Structure 1
Amino acid sequence: MFLPRVLRPFAVPRAPLSLFSPRFILPVRTRYLSTTIEQSSSPDLATPHSPEPTSPSTQPESQNPSPLPYFVSRNNLNNLSVYQRNKRGGNRKVTILKNGEGDLKALKQDIKEALQLNDGDLSINSVTNHIEIKGQKKVEVLNFLATMGF
């Protein structure tokens, strides 16, 4: 049965908070740092041994890669910041690479060579340090950055 609006109370009486139980109770895990060293049962692993001398020609080159003059960091969601944008009313498609640090000209050159683009297809915004690539090349840029180890 409904009361007319004139006879309804202005405010609904609130129930005390103690009657309600919390909806979500998350389990809390505690981790303890152990400072003791566990002894292994294998004698080969317990005793340290000196590494065998190897000649420089037998070491693979992937162990000491030359450092790149640039770095592409990830955003707070651990994703690479590569975005596709439409400009000029949707007529111009642009891919934008953000969070580039270091020598952006070298990064631009490497992207140009990897994607086989013309020099006019890439530009560096010196104010925001973003690299703009003409066209929708998000997947290609992400593949390039993944192969480079970013």
Structure 2
Amino acid sequence: MSFINKLLPFTRQFPILTEQLGLIRYSSYKSSYQLEDINPLPRKYEITKDPMEWEYVARLLPPAVIPEPLKKDKYPSGWKPQAENLSDRPYFIQRNKFHELPIYLKINTLKTRRSTVLRNIQGDIWLLEKEIRDFLSPQFFQPIRSQVNEFAGYIRIHGDYVNAVKYFLEQKGY
């Protein structure tokens, strides 16, 4: 075994010595002996610039802007648009770009805790939290624990209450 091969296991412990000897170890990808250049395969297609052919591709691309939903009396999916006269209320919940209520279920990495997060709240966030707590308390046996972040404009409720909070807000017109 040569002198350099004897030093290689110690290069992680002594990086200054490694730089002085010129023994720079790269990641396993670059230092792999099995790494070979693969010749690029010849292209078996050509790129067209014909606008008639690009029309078919443009139909497959997602729209740049999400369109406003059509006005109907009742939607087949059960979705309800936001009421138009919400300016007299003490708080407002802005819908997301998909025109949905911003209520999300957060599950931690160990999948042991679930929390419901209501975002995009403007106005009296404390009144909204009290109304949600009063709505949820008679329906569930356990105490409702919640966290209000007034600066960021969200409410976190410990537990999976997504459907109940959505129902509550849809009944209020949000």
TM over 0.5: yes
Counterpart residue type for residue 115 of structure 1: L
Match of 1:80 in 2: 101
Match of 1:75, SS state, is coil
| Separation in structure 2 between the aligned mates of residue 138 and residue 11 of structure 1, nearest angstrom | 50
1:17 Cα offset (Å): 3.1
Asked whether the equivalents of residues 86 and 92 of structure 2 are also in contact (C-alpha less than 8 Å), the reply is: no
2:114 to 93, 100, 106: 93
134 and 23 in structure 1: CA distance in 2 versus 1, 3 angstrom threshold: same
CA contact (8 A) 1:71 1:102 kept: yes
CA distance in 1, matches of 2:89, 2:48: 62
Q: What does 1:99-118 correspond to in 2, within 5 Å? A: 99-116=120-137
Q: How many residues align?
A: 108
Q: Distance in 2 between matches of 1:134 and 1:19?
A: 54
Separation in structure 1 between the aligned mates of residue 46 and residue 143 of structure 2, nearest angstrom:
68
Match of 2:168 in 1: 144
- Distance change >3 Å, CA 148–CA 90, structure 1 → 2: same
The 3-state SS of whatever aligns with 2:115 is strand
* Aligned amino acid, residue 170 of structure 2: A
Match of 1:128 among 152, 158, 163: 152
Identity rate of aligned residues, in percent? 25
For structure 2, the residue ranges without an aligned partner over 5 or more in a row are 1-38, 60-84
Matches within 5 A, 1:60-79: 67-79=88-100
TM-aligned CA distance change 1:148 to 1:23, over 3 Å: same
Q: CA RMSD in A?
A: 3.8
CA distance in structure 1 between the partners assigned to 2:171 and 2:123 by the alignment: 19
- After superposition, the Cα gap between the structure-2 partners of 1:84 and 1:68, relative to the gap in structure 1 and judged at 3 Å, is same
AA matched with 2:92: F
CA distance in structure 2 between the aligned counterparts of 1:20 and 1:86, rounded to whole angstroms: 47
Question: Which string of whole-angstrom CA distances, capped at 9 and with x for unpartnered residues, describes residues 38-97 of structure 1?
Answer: xxxxxxxxxxxxxxxxxxxxxxxxxx9993211111001000000001126221110000
Aligned residues of 2:133 and 2:144 also touching (Cα < 8 A): no
Question: Secondary structure of the residue that 2:132 maps to in structure 1?
Answer: helix
Partner SS for 1:17: coil
